[in-house]
Amino acid sequence: MKKAELVKYFKSRYPAVDEGGGVWFFTLKDDEIGYLGMCPKLRQTSTYNRVAAQVVMCPRWFEELTGAIFQSGRGSYLFTKGDGNLLFDVVGEVTDVHLAQLTDMAFDWFNQCCTEEVIRPELLRKYEIYNRPGGWQFTHIIACVLKGDAEKLRGYLDAFKRGDRMEFIPIIQQEYFERAIPLAEKYRSGELVSPVQF
């Protein structure tokens, strides 16, 4: 199987986005439970074929908070798994059966990530530390909201107003905190209830 055949297989089954440079991203799941996206890869060597994928996911409640606070489409995911983590090697020709196996692995990972036992430590870890790069800081803000920690969010907002970005990455904007604070107050008062206690 060639890369073009891999892309054709997934395009015939799932919504696809061409991200350029021959990279395709497929939406495997987008429903009331959550979102699961995958970028499948095929690497051929002289002895085996490696079937791999980068996968991303977020529960629906997480995606809704992302939209409310950051007012953007996808881009902040609760969990991601890079190319080196979801893979297997095939001796011989890669077939549709192998691509179905890769898809099953992605769905199994999604279902595992949807459990409170997995989400709780992830949110706690990202709530306690904010100054890590990338998507970490988006999840930190959401964790502060779910925790009802309006004070921490106000501290960030006050710092931004003074011109101190506190090691937040450049795409984090002041208005994110302005939108997050009222939501955090609702979680603290009990008007809204966090889907995960951490």
98-142: per-residue pLDDT in tens?
999 999 999 999 999 999 999 999 999 999 998 887 788 999 999
pTM of the model: 0.85
pLDDT category at 73 given cuts 50, 70, 90 is low
Please determine, for residue 75, whether its predicted confidence score (pLDDT) is greater than 90.
Answer: no
Best mean pLDDT range from 6-20, 59-73, 123-137: 6-20
Per-residue b or e along 84-94, where b marks 16 or more CB atoms closer than 10 Å to that residue's CB? eebeeebeeeb
- Closest by CA to 34, choosing from 92, 153, 114, is 114
DSSP symbols for 143-179 = HHHHHT-HHHHHHHHHHHHTT--TT--TT--HHHHHH
Tell me, what's the pLDDT at 187?
98
Identify the CA nearest to 153 among candidates 162, 144, 164, 161.
144
Say yes or no to pLDDT of 15 above 60.
yes
Q: How confident is the model at residue 21 (pLDDT cuts 50, 70, 90)?
A: confident
Whole-angstrom distance, CA of residue 97 vs CA of residue 42: 14
Contact yes or no for 84/52 (Cβ under 8 A)? yes
* pLDDT at residue 74, as a whole number: 53
Q: Answer yes or no: is pLDDT of 82 > 90.
A: no
Average pLDDT score, the chain: 93
Q: Hey, what are 169's tokens?
A: 């990455």
Distance between CA atoms of residues 3 and 44, nearest Å:
10
Give residue 104's pLDDT. Answer: 97
Residue 136 CB burial class (10 angstroms; 0-12, 13-18, ≥19)? middle
Tokens coding 58: 């977020």
